């Protein structure tokens, strides 16, 4: 270990300004509530109390900033924190798995970053420096990279030169591709927000022409049919507009300036309009790759690529998007770096048993009959649920045609999904376990599902090969699947 330092570093002073600005919305939104509870004391008292609370919180933030210190040594990072109870954490460089840099909008304006460090010893970040200058964040990341590459001396001597070294570009998204991706990412996530705004602000907006009652009062009963048609059409058009704008806004905010480059240890991904993230995905931690598309995207030849890693990517869990919208030709250089083969054509995949269709029909039919019987006890329109029968008959057929597997070049490929097709690429050396699952209906049809476990996979959505013939499933289970 390195010797004790003579002086420690503190977070950037802009931390206090950023925290103050981040609390301003709470101050503004809290004023009406404070005025209501104070009652007759008036708005001036509410404003005074709100600012007093802001000053107290900023005082605590200042004390925390003064008491938070860190030191970047030659072989470890040391962090001391705590106002009353002091906590000292030592993180050796050789235990660090990932270090990611994040810049929210305010942080970008002040030129600072959040450095998050993961060692793999827990489910989240082991250490966080919030906020440090961008130069300091780059110096920390470069020193850790160089140390893990066996070149700690060069890291300590010239971090600036290390930061300027060339990183081969593997994939990027220009504005045109970003817009196309946004159009495909149709979303209605903000529909509830729009409805709430309309409910409370609608009386102040010049939108009486959207009121069917106003039309009938103006033009009489003969306008009822026209009003109904226009209301339905306007509602549909409004939903489509909201979905397109929302999907476009979310995509641009998340993937603006998307760049994927190759570093000494892995893949470096930078993206974001308001929150800029800089993440390195070590190649040795990558477990599997997933190519996904949509039923419309597939017609235009667009696909997305993500990798399943042992490290976390925020809300996305262990799945890291490394090519949100790409052609197959764009993915080949990335697969070369991942040391994974490109998926074979669809004809090379072995389909699962066609008895999947019959098994699904039996199970779905039983659930539908039960739902109609229960609904008929309190709803006279329960027989209308029978209209669900055609989709339930069609869905298993589409699922069967889309599902299959292939094992070649020491890699397992699994195709699944009709509306959201995806291909999972798993090197057999990364497979941790295999489990045979036989449900009650499956046993009747001689079927079994093979569940393949990998490190870092979601417990809610493991890799499954559904409804294999039982003999084929047992041959995979006891044969070449885990023999690599």
Q: What is the pLDDT along the chain (484 residues), one digit of tens a residue?
A: 455 556 788 888 888 888 877 777 666 666 555 555 555 555 666 667 667 777 877 888 888 888 888 888 888 888 888 878 888 888 888 888 778 888 888 888 888 888 888 776 554 556 888 888 888 888 888 788 778 766 544 444 444 444 445 789 999 999 999 999 998 887 655 555 555 555 544 444 454 545 555 545 555 555 555 556 666 777 777 777 777 888 888 899 999 999 999 987 789 999 999 888 888 888 888 899 999 999 889 999 999 999 998 766 555 557 889 999 999 999 999 999 999 999 999 899 999 999 999 999 999 999 999 999 999 998 888 889 899 999 999 999 999 999 999 998 889 999 999 989 999 999 998 888 888 999 999 999 999 999 998 876 665 568 899 999 998 888 887 766 655 4
Chain centre distance of CA 120: 20
439 Cβ neighbours under 8 A, 6+ residues apart: 449
Task: Give the other-Cβ count within 10 Å of 69's Cβ.
Answer: 17
Name the nearest CA neighbour of 9 among 59, 87, 64, 78. Answer: 78
Predicted local distance difference test score (pLDDT) of residue 135: 86
- As a whole number of angstroms, the distance between CA 408 and CA 344 comes to 9
Task: Give the other-Cβ count within 10 Å of 451's Cβ.
Answer: 14
Alpha helices in 202-299 (DSSP H): 212-219, 224-255
- As a whole number of angstroms, the distance between CA 199 and CA 212 comes to 16
Give me the residues paired with residue 433 across strands: 453
Sign of the CA dihedral with 183 first, then 184, 188, and 193 last: negative
Predicted local distance difference test score (pLDDT) of residue 158: 44
Predicted local distance difference test score (pLDDT) of residue 104: 85
Quote the DSSP letter at residue 345: P
> Reading across the β-sheet that carries 169-172, which strands appear in turn?
127-133, 112-118, 98-103, 276-282, 266-271, 259-262, 169-172
> Reading across the β-sheet that carries 431-437, which strands appear in turn?
431-437, 447-454, 463-469
Name the nearest CA neighbour of 322 among 468, 172, 195. Answer: 172
φ, ψ (nearest 5 deg) of residue 380? -70, -20
Residue-wise pLDDT for 279-296, tens only, equals 888 888 889 999 999 988
Q: 344 and 291 in contact (C-beta within 8 Å)?
A: no
Tell how strand 112-118 and strand 98-103 pair up: antiparallel
In the chain, the N- to C-terminal Cα span, in Å, equals 39
Quote the DSSP letter at residue 144: H
Q: Which long-range contacts (CB under 8 A, 24 or more apart) does 127-135 make?
A: 127/77, 127/79, 127/89, 127/91, 129/11, 129/70, 129/79, 130/11, 130/15, 131/11, 131/12, 131/14, 131/15, 131/18, 131/107, 132/11, 132/12, 133/12, 134/101, 134/103
Residue 241 tokens read as 């507009």
Q: What b-and-e string marks burial along 162-192, b requiring 16 or more CB atoms within 10 Å of the CB?
A: beeeeeeebbebeeebbebbbebbbbeeeee
Across 359-446, the runs of DSSP E, i.e. the strands, are 404-408, 411-416, 422-427, 431-437
- As a whole number of angstroms, the distance between CA 321 and CA 310 comes to 14
* Domains in the chain, CATH or no CATH each: 9-93+134-165 (no CATH), 180-254 (no CATH), 347-484 (2.30.29)
At 102, which helix (H) or strand (E)? Answer: strand 98-103
Predicted local distance difference test score (pLDDT) of residue 237: 79
Q: Considering just the CA atoms, what is the radius of gyration of the chain in Å?
A: 29
> Reading across the β-sheet that carries 9-10, which strands appear in turn?
9-10, 69-72, 76-81, 87-92
pTM of the model: 0.76
Name the nearest CA neighbour of 434 among 368, 482, 379, 385. Answer: 482
- As a whole number of angstroms, the distance between CA 82 and CA 16 comes to 17
């Amino acid at each position: 270990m390195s010797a004790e330092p003579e002086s420690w570093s503190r977070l950037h002073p802009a931390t206090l300004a950023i925290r103050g600005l981040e609390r301003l919305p709470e101050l503004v939104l809290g004023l009406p509530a404070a005025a209501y509870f104070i009652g007759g004391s008036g708005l001036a008292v509410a404003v005074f109390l709100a600012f007093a609370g802001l000053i107290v919180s900023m005082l605590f933030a200042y004390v925390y900033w003064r008491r938070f210190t860190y030191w970047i040594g030659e072989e470890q990072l040391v962090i001391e924190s705590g106002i009353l109870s002091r906590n000292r954490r030592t993180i050796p460089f050789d235990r660090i798995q990932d270090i990611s840099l994040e810049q929210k909008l305010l942080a970008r304006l002040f030129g600072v970053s959040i450095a998050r460090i993961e060692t793999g010893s827990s489910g989240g970040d082991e250490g966080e420096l919030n906020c440090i200058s961008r130069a300091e964040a780059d110096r920390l990341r470069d020193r850790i990279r160089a140390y893990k590459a066996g070149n700690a001396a060069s890291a300590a001597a010239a971090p600036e030169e290390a930061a300027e070294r060339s990183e081969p570009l593997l994939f990027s998204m220009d504005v045109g591709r970003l817009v196309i991706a946004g159009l495909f990412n149709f979303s209605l996530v903000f529909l509830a927000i729009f409805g709430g705004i309309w409910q409370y602000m609608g009386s102040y907006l010049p939108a009486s022409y959207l009121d069917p009652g106003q039309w009938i009062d103006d033009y009489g009963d003969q306008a009822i049919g026209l009003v109904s048609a226009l209301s339905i059409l306007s509602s549909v058009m409004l939903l489509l507009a909201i979905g397109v704008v929302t999907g476009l806004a979310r995509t641009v905010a998340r993937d603006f300036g998307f760049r994927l480059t190759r570093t000494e240890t892995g893949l470096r991904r930078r993206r974001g309009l308001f929150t800029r993230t800089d993440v390195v995905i070590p190649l040795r931690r990558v477990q599997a790759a997933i190519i996904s598309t949509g039923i419309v995207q597939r017609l235009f030849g667009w696909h997305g690529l993500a990798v399943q890693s042992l490290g976390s990517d925020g809300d996305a869990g262990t799945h890291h998007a490394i090519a949100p919208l790409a052609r197959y030709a764009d993915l080949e250089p990335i697969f070369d770096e991942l040391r994974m083969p490109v998926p074979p054509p669809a004809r090379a995949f072995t389909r699962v048993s066609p008895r999947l269709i019959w098994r699904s029909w039996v199970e779905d039919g039983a659930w539908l009959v039960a739902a109609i019987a229960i609904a008929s006890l309190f709803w006279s329109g329960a027989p209308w649920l029978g209209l669900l029968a055609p989709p339930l008959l069609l869905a298993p057929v589409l699922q069967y045609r889309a599902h299959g597997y292939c094992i070649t070049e020491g890699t397992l490929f699994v195709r699944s999904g009709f509306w959201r097709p995806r291909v999972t690429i798993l090197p057999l050396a990364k497979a941790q376990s295999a489990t045979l699952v036989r449900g009650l209906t499956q046993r009747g049809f001689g079927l079994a599902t093979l569940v393949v476990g990998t490190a870092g996979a979601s417990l809610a959505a493991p890799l499954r090969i559904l409804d294999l013939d039982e003999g084929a499933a047992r041959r995979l289970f006891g044969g070449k699947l885990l023999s690599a």
